[in-house]
Amino acid sequence: MSAGGRYRVRPGGRLVGRLRVPGDKSISHRALMLGAVAEGVTVIDGFLEGADCLATLRALRALGVEIEGPAGGRVTVHGVGLHGLRPPTAALDLGNSGTSMRLLAGLLAGQAFPVTLTGDASLSRRPMRRITEPLAAMGARIETTAAGTAPLRLAGGARLHGIDYDLPVASAQIKSCLLLAGLYAHGHTCVREPAPTRDHTERMLAGLGHAPARAGGRICVEGGARLHGRAIDVPADLSSAAFFLVGASIAPGSDLRLEHVGVNPTRTGVIEILRRMGADIEILNPREAGGEPVADLRVRAAPLRGIAIGPELVPLAIDEFPAVFVAAACAEGETVLTGAEELRVKESDRIQVMAEGLQALGVAARPTADGIVIRGGTPGGGTVDSHGDHRIAMAFAIAALRAAGPVTVTDTSNVETSFPGFPAAAAGVGLGIVAERGGDPAAEARE
């Protein structure tokens, strides 16, 4: 999605009521991909109709997969089996979606035909050697730019073989890429994680009839198995809920219930971090949906305090740190994050961009090589450039709940990648937000 758009957010207010945020982005991507190479029909409910997941959907259609929808969060995928994908007529443009590019590279590494994966300017700066090198070790023929970035060119016709690979960083995208490639490899493909990462791929493979073997931090998948289509219920995305967990925590008088949220234990680092800071978060009505644990989350305003966040929590909250940084900016004392170098190679350099945005609001924030130091207080008003990063844009919109003056967030169009309708959803529970496109008000909230 092109750059542009801005949010104007009034200071103060509280978050009250009930909200179901859009479906989980990570699970939506994987349901499409695995449903496409399964045999039979996979019906996905709760699908995230955001730009990133739609990029995956369009790519799979270009590969010959019949997909109905999305309509009201439902997508029906008519699987073609492991070897039923067809050569596309052009390069697959994946927009801003790193998940699409990294996971599809694994799925396509063992195909008989060549394919090129491209993306927008932001995606074309993100590191890809972390997947292309282990894929090459499996026998894939894959090229990048001299800088190790997209476009990725897969020559096709490669005979893949299983490898035993130690991940250099804890990354669910790298792990999932190699497990998907392992479906096409001779023998076993095993991945060792230095720390637990989200396990949606493993859970979904099990649900489709091909459970990976696990032993400690080692996950192995056998090549050549058949997957079988099934119904998949996508829970609400905890990464999207995180903005409201923080907003209700920092805004006095807030009492908000977030419904049907995925609480996979490999994703709940943000809840643990906020609770350590003093947040009042209840996990209600725990249950299972589509092989994933879900629950309702009730969050009420509470005084927060700064804490040390160590490397062990980073993989469990990697996408939620922009929201966590806003909580730290409103907490008493100092919050110190370490071991989070991975944040520098997301949709933006999230450490640097968040530090600059907090500084623009008068918050003492000092970036470090692998994290940030934030001294809490009361943010002021001001203008923040999100640099086209959807999570940073939403984080600073929520920060206005405790700001001393109005907050303007620029370059907000990419919020549609993960949270379509964010301004309306936030307005519905109490945030005073106006979304503007091209300078003209497009939506207005709670005057």
pLDDT at 443: 33
Domain shared by 427 and 296, yes or no:
yes
- 175 Cβ neighbours under 8 A, 6+ residues apart: 167, 191, 193, 197, 201, 219
Catalytic-labelled residue, pool 93, 199, 233, 319: 319
**What b-and-e string marks burial along 17-43, b requiring 16 or more CB atoms within 10 Å of the CB?**
eebbbbbbbbbbbbbbbbbbbbbebbb
Domain shared by 92 and 167, yes or no:
yes
Domain shared by 291 and 424, yes or no:
yes
> How many helices (H) and strands (E) would you count in the chain?
12, 25
pLDDT at 3: 61
Q: What is the DSSP string of 5-71?
A: -EEEE-S----EEEE-PPBPHHHHHHHHHHHHHSEEEEEEES---SHHHHHHHHHHHHTT-EEEEEE
In a domain, 1, yes or no: no
Convert the pLDDT of each residue in 119-143 to its tens digit: 999 899 999 999 999 999 999 999 9
* Residue pointed to by tokens 């945030």: 431
Domain shared by 239 and 226, yes or no:
no
Domain shared by 276 and 386, yes or no:
yes
d(CA 279, CA 268): 14
pLDDT at 41: 98
Under a CB-based contact definition with an 8 Å cutoff, are residues 281 and 256 in contact?
no
Domain shared by 166 and 310, yes or no:
no
Closest CA to 225 of 205, 253, 202: 205
- Identify the bridge partners of residue 43 per DSSP, sorted by sequence position: 76, 231
pLDDT at 290: 79
pLDDT at 438: 56
Residue type, 381: G
Residue type, 192: R
d(CA 252, CA 255): 9
Half-sphere exposure of 22 (CA within 13 A, CB side): 26
Domain shared by 44 and 140, yes or no:
yes
Residue 200, domain extent = 25-233
Instruction: Output the pTM of the full model.
Output: 0.89
d(CA 268, CA 408): 30
Q: What is the DSSP string of 128-151?
A: -HHHHHHHHHTT--EE--TTS-SP
pLDDT at 442: 35
- Identify the bridge partners of residue 45 per DSSP, sorted by sequence position: 74, 233
Residue type, 310: G
In a domain, 49, yes or no: yes
Domain shared by 418 and 369, yes or no:
yes
Q: Among residues 167, 201, 233, which one ends one of the domains?
A: 233
Give residue 72's region: left, alpha or beta (phi > 0; psi -120 to 50): left
Closest CA to 171 of 345, 390, 302, 372: 345
In a domain, 301, yes or no: yes
Domain shared by 120 and 55, yes or no:
yes
- What is the domain-level CATH number for residue 351? 3.65.10.10
In a domain, 314, yes or no: yes
Domain shared by 246 and 99, yes or no:
no
Q: Among residues 233, 267, 289, which one ends one of the domains?
A: 233
In a domain, 228, yes or no: yes
- 139 Cβ neighbours under 8 A, 6+ residues apart: 158, 159, 160, 161, 185
In a domain, 93, yes or no: yes
Domain shared by 117 and 64, yes or no:
yes
Convert the pLDDT of each residue in 194-226 to its tens digit: 999 999 999 999 999 999 999 988 999 999 989
d(CA 361, CA 261): 31
* Residue pointed to by tokens 């000092």: 366
Regions of the chain short of the pLDDT cut 70 = 1-3, 438-447
Instruction: Give catalytic status of residue 24 as yes or no.
Output: no
Closest CA to 329 of 355, 292, 294: 355
Q: Among residues 212, 233, 254, which one ends one of the domains?
A: 233
Do strands 280-289 and 292-300 pair parallel, antiparallel, or not at all (unpaired)? Answer: antiparallel
Convert the pLDDT of each residue in 30-54 to its tens digit: 999 999 999 999 999 999 999 999 9
Neighbours of 287 (CB within 10 A): 11
pLDDT at 437: 82
In a domain, 319, yes or no: yes
Domain shared by 191 and 311, yes or no:
no
In a domain, 151, yes or no: yes
Q: Name the phi and psi angles at 375, rounded to 5.
A: -100, 120
Which tokens sit at 34?
């695995």
d(CA 444, CA 447): 8
Residue type, 184: Y
Convert the pLDDT of each residue in 237-276 to its tens digit: 999 999 999 999 999 999 999 999 999 999 999 999 999 9
pLDDT at 416: 87
d(CA 372, CA 387): 18
Q: Report the SS3 class of residue 337.
A: strand
Please state the domain count of the chain: 2
